[in-house]
Amino acid sequence: MRLPQFEYFAPVSLEDALKLKDQMRTSAWILAGGTDLVVNLKHRLLAPAALISIRNIRNLTGIDLTPDTLVIRAGTALAQVASHPAVKEHFPILVKAINSIGAMAIQHFRGTIGGNLCLTPRCLFYNQSLFWRKGKGSCHRTGAKDCLALKGSESCQSICSGDTVPVLLALSASVRLVGLGGSRVVPLTEFFSGLGESPYHILPEEILTEIRIPLPWAPISWSYQRLGMRSAVDFPLVNAAAVAVLDKGKVEHLRLVISAVGPAPVILREAEKEIKGAQPEPRMADRAAEIALRAAGGVVVENAIQSRDYRVKMAGVMARRAVKEALRL
Given the rule CB under 6 A, which residues bind ligand FAD?
A: 29-37, 39, 54, 74, 78, 101-102, 107, 110-112, 114-116, 118-120, 161-163, 207-208, 233-235
CB 126, min distance to ligand FAD, A: 13
Q: Which residues of 257-267 are buried (b: 16+ CB within 10 A; e: fewer)?
A: bbbbbbbbbbb
CB 260, min distance to ligand FAD, A: 9
Contact by Cβ (8 Å): 280, 328 = yes
By C-beta, is 33 or 262 nearer to ligand FAD?
33
Residue 134 Cα to chain centre, angstroms: 29
* Distance separating alpha carbons of residues 87 and 92, to the nearest angstrom: 7
Contacting range for ligand SF4; rule: CB under 6 A; set: 153-161, 231-239, 250-258, 306-314: 153-161
Residue 248 burial by Cβ neighbours in a 10 Å radius (0-12, 13-18, 19+): exposed
By C-beta, is 127 or 225 nearer to ligand SF4?
127
Phi, psi (degrees; rounded to nearest 5) at 37: -60, -45
125, 191, 200, 235: residue in contact with ligand SF4 (rule CB under 6 A): 125
Among ligand FAD, ligand SF4, none, partner that 125 touches (CB below 5 to 8 angstroms by kind)? ligand SF4
Sheet with 221-227: strands ordered across: 221-227, 238-247, 250-259, 266-267
* Distance separating alpha carbons of residues 165 and 94, to the nearest angstrom: 10
The residue count for binding ligand SF4 (CB under 6 A) is 14
Phi, psi (degrees; rounded to nearest 5) at 313: -60, -40
Strand partners for 48: none
37, 54, 87, 123: residue in contact with ligand SF4 (rule CB under 6 A): 123
By C-beta, is 119 or 327 nearer to ligand FAD?
119
Among ligand SF4, ligand FAD, none, partner that 127 touches (CB below 5 to 8 angstroms by kind)? none
- 140 forms part of the interface with ligand SF4 (CB under 6 A): yes
DSSP tag of 269: H
Binding-site ranges for ligand SF4 (CB under 6 A): 123, 125-126, 139-141, 147-149, 156-158, 196, 303
